């Protein structure tokens, strides 16, 4: 039986012999099993992290809720004032340039 050869950079070299390997079906099942093992590990990690979760007390919820409500009110007032200042400035600029038709 003649061995197969290939030419690489002007030299003839024998082709490497085919190694007996896994069939494509076995490879795909191996990938599926590996994916399943990864997913099972992920679920295990999720469960471990879920056990660390602590439900806040009623007092903590009330305190953080009041902070959020006050912050929303402050930001609302701030943005209202900034909007009014820009509105006034834009109207003044357009009136001086003749862009406002009154």
Locate the domains of the chain by residue range. Answer: 23-53, 55-102
Q: What is the pLDDT of residue 64?
A: 97
**What's the mean pLDDT when you consider all of the chain?**
84
Q: 72-91 pLDDT, tens per residue?
A: 999 999 999 999 999 999 99
pTM (2 d.p.): 0.48
- On the question of pLDDT at 28 being above 90, the answer is no
Of 36, 39, 56, 55, which is closest to residue 47 (Cα–Cα)? Answer: 39
d(CA 57, CA 54): 9
Q: What is the pLDDT of residue 37?
A: 82
């Amino acid at each position: 039986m003649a061995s197969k050869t290939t030419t690489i950079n002007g030299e003839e070299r024998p082709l490497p012999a085919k190694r007996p390997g896994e069939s494509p079906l076995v490879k795909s099942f191996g990938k599926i099993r590996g994916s399943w093992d990864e997913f099972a590990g992920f679920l295990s990690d999720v469960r471990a992290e879920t056990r660390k979760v602590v439900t806040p007390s009623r007092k903590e919820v009330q305190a953080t809720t009041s902070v959020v409500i006050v912050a929303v009110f402050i930001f609302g007032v701030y943005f209202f004032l900034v909007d009014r200042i820009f509105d006034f400035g834009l109207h003044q600029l357009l009136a001086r340039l003749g862009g406002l038709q009154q």
